[in-house]
Amino acid sequence: MLKGEQSWVFPRRPVIVATGVTGGPFEGNGKLAEDFDLLHDDLWMGEDSYEKAHRLLIDEAIEIALKKAKLQKENIEFLIAGDLINQITPTTFAARNVGIPYFGISGACSSSMEGLALAAFIVNYQGAKHVLTGSGSHNAAAERQFRYPTEYGGQKPPTAQWTATAAGFAIVTEQNEQNQNEPKVTMATIGKVIDMGMTDPFNMGGAMAPAAVDTILAHFKDTGRTHEDYDLIVTGDLAKVGRAAALDLIHAKGIDLPSEKFQDCGLMIYKDDQEVHSGGSGSGLSAAVLYGHLLKQMKYGTYKKILCVATGSLHSPLSVQQGESIPCIAHAVAIEMD
């Protein structure tokens, strides 16, 4: 049901019944390595291009999620997924492989929560019994498209971020007696495109911070909730620069959100001695951290309610070359344990 201007409430409380999370070698050396189901020891992953390796990450995450749920691909009504690469081809080729009716979404790094919100909406209103959703990214593929090929060795400023080589997928299903102890999707707030006129593609965190704050404030306004209703509010990939800017903007609105309650996936996945500049990014990052790490922490009892706010920078290499500013978006999903 629509709540306020841009939020949904899901009275049937769809369940995240299973997840699959895959990653690359850099993620295997990070802080959350134990929360991945499968890690590769090189970026090629046995393929002959980075884009094919990207697709493989998605293939494997989907396969793992299905196996955990004890479901066959024929049991899944819809697949909702996307990535960063032109025409979301890694995801589309994975969809070709799995053969599930497919919604391809292109929300950049916001795709993880865009997909989860849509999956929950469809299941809540009985448009499907099982929906598979997620997103992935590959460092070398994204660097080649959006910045410079890794082999070029170009230097980056401290505001730049490291694209995660990771994929995270989840199966959202109807709640029943067998799965009622699993995490539930209870609300979602769909973001607006926010453009503050920034043009630096090496400062995505700063560009996306206003979009994250706009969606968080809209969520509070629409639902009547406050930060006190959540154990954790986590953004997708603002990293150091963006998280600090977002927290300042929230405080400027008179909301006393404690710093320790406001975290970012881009600051959670890598160790302090890994050279990631401002932090992690990528469409697979928030999906991997949420579906691998945060849901596990919810099951351990660390968190009861979290609000995951995935942020996306909606520029393209061409739009940057033509001098366009960078439009950004954020989508928020509330996940709860009973």
pLDDT (tens place) for every residue of the chain, 338 residues total: 999 999 999 999 999 999 999 999 999 999 999 999 999 999 999 999 999 999 999 999 999 999 999 999 999 999 999 999 999 999 999 999 999 999 999 999 999 999 999 999 999 999 999 999 999 999 999 887 877 666 777 778 888 888 999 999 999 999 999 999 999 999 999 999 999 999 998 898 999 999 999 999 999 999 999 999 999 999 999 999 999 999 999 999 999 999 999 999 999 999 999 999 999 999 999 999 999 999 999 999 999 999 999 999 999 989 988 999 999 999 999 999 99
Give me the architecture of the 2-173 domain, per CATH. 3-Layer(aba) Sandwich (3.40)
Q: Residue 149: its pLDDT value, please?
A: 67
Rounded to whole angstroms, the Cα distance separating 85 from 108 reads 9
Element (H, E) at 281: strand 280-281
Q: Residue 74: its pLDDT value, please?
A: 97
The model's pTM: 0.96
**Equal CATH topology for 2-173 and 184-336:** yes
Q: How many Cα atoms within 13 Å fall on the side-chain side of residue 195? A: 9
Q: Which two tokens stand for residue 280?
A: 């992690």
CATH class for the region spanning 184-336: alpha beta
Q: Residue 284: its pLDDT value, please?
A: 97
Domain map of the chain by residue range?
Answer: 2-173, 184-336
| CA distance readout (Å), 62 to 40, 42, 51, 285 | 16, 20, 17, 16
